[in-house]
Structure 1
Amino acid sequence: MASVPITTFLAGFGVGLAVAAPIGPMGVLCIQRTLAFGLAAGLATGLGAATVHVTFGSIAALGLEATAVTLLGAGTQGLSLLSAVLLFWFGARILKRTTVLDPYPPQSERWLHLYASALLFGLSNPMTVLLFIAVIPALTASNDLQAAPVLVIGVFLGSILWWTILSIATALIRSRLSAGATALTNRASGLTLVALGMLMLMKAFGQTLP
């Protein structure tokens, strides 16, 4: 019996790590914020992403995926449009921002803003929702609700581990970059987010690349 929670935890841990690890828009945002403002900014962004993963993981672990699929199907275009707008907004802010080599001052509202914006962005990404809905039920062989908290804890720890690794690795690179290199990296990040916003906009209107 003791092996069941461990297996469930490891399944959730693997899902959290696997969903977080691909470098998508959230990864670009985490890297850019760490380069611009320091390690704590990247960790605040990663915590927002991990909160989204826990939310979606909880929905799937509690067996509510059918309801989520129905709601998502009705609002996919709206979520894609919101995601595109946020990508454009983040990209534009990064492109307009003057490079900052010193970290943010230790003010709680700064970190809350970084966390909240990452949370909103993650919640607007329909692909993340679909990925959790597809993966987690396949990993839970039984419908034992007592195992759901163990699974969700595993998802959170797997996700937050990746964001911590990414933020620390980026912070180490940051310490070796010149101001010019940091500015160039910020510009590249901003352009990448704008390009991803264009792809999300095309997705919202059912278009594909030729």
Structure 2
Amino acid sequence: MVSIPLGPIGVLIIQKTIQKGRLAGFVSGMGAAVADMFYATVAAFGLGMVLSFIETQEFYLQLVGSVFLVYVGLRIFFTNPIKQIRGAKKTGKKGMLGDFVSIFFLTASNPIAVFVFVAVFAGTSIFGTNPTLRIELFLILGVLLGGGLWWYTLSTIINIFRKKFRLKQLFWINKISGIVIAVLGFLAFLACFEPIKSFLHS
């Protein structure tokens, strides 16, 4: 449920799937799934030091993440999709590792996720009155597998239509994806500041 909403990360993974293929999109998605698993672990085990760090550094984490998102969006906008497709054939596993790491850090830079997991776990009473280590571990593994299944499904669906795109269409998809990601990153940047955050939520 946490992975499905198509925010900037979803748009970015769709763009990578279109440009580089299903495997690249799936590997990128797993970066988001691993980051979600990390936050689910913090929420499930109540890791005090990590949670305290996230709460105190929330502003800076969101700020860095939003600025990097704007940078990624602008980079996609100004990238030639034809060169990117050709480059994808050469980069192979090294390029996919870079995609995995970048998506992981982009997802991890949104500390709101840990509070979402806390709310979901509490609201569904999934642990019951006497949580055990086994239940918590199964839940964390479920977050990883659930996220992975979603990103595999999305990248597979996008890949089916990918073969029907022509170069001109790929050019405009690149431009639109870049603009959407940059705008969402800019809105996330504005939302870091309390007066603007209050205005956006009003």
TM-score, normalised via structure 1 length: 0.85
Q: Which runs of 5+ in 2 are unaligned?
A: none
**1:153 & 1:73 partners in 2: Cα distance?**
24
Q: Residue 5 of structure 2 is aligned with which of 17, 22, 46?
A: 22
Within 2, Cα distance between the matches of 1:60 and 1:128? 9
Name which of 7, 10, 15 aligns with 1:32. Answer: 15
Aligned counterpart, 1:85: 67
Q: Deviations over 1:88-119 (max 9, x none)?
A: 11101101110134543363211110111011
Say if 2:102 is the partner of 1:117.
yes
Aligned residues: 192
AA matched with 1:86: F
- Between 1:82-91 and 1:140-149, the stretch displaced more is 140-149
Q: 1:149 deviation in Å?
A: 1.4
Task: Output aligned runs, 1:173-192, within 5 Å.
Answer: 173-192=161-180
Q: Distance in 2 between matches of 1:165 and 1:128?
A: 22
In structure 2, the residue corresponding to 1:20 is in which secondary structure? coil
* Letter of the structure 1 residue corresponding to residue 18 of structure 2: L
- Structure 2 SS opposite 1:204: coil
CA–CA distance in 2 between the matches of 1:58 and 1:43?
A: 22
1:106-146 C-alpha deviation (Å, 9 max, x unpaired): 63211110111011101101222221122124422132112
Q: CA deviation at 1:67?
A: 5.0
Among candidates 104, 127, 131, match of residue 140 of structure 1: 127
Are 1:20 and 1:159, in contact at CA under 8 Å, matched by a contact in 2?
Answer: yes
SS at match of 2:68: helix
Mean CA deviation greater in 164-173 or 93-102: 93-102
| Structure 1 residue 48: Cα displacement | 0.2
Please say if 1:56 is aligned against 2:44.
no
Deviation by residue 1:28-65 (Cα, 9 ceiling, x = unmatched): 1100011111112101111101101111111122233x
Q: CA deviation at 1:164?
A: 0.4
Letter in 2 for 1:48: G
Tell me which amino acid in the other structure corresponds to 2:26.
Answer: L
Distance in structure 1 (CA, Å) of the matches to 2:8 and 2:117: 17
Call closer, same or farther: CA 1:53–1:149 in 2, change over 3 Å.
Answer: same
Write the mapping of 1:145-184 to structure 2, written as runs, cut at 5 A.
Answer: 145-184=133-172
CA distance in structure 1 between the partners assigned to 2:115 and 2:90 by the alignment: 37
Question: Aligned-pair distance for 1:69?
Answer: 4.4
Percent identity of equivalent pairs: 30
Between 66-75 and 118-127, report the one with greater CA deviation. Answer: 66-75
CA distance in 1, matches of 2:114, 2:165: 36
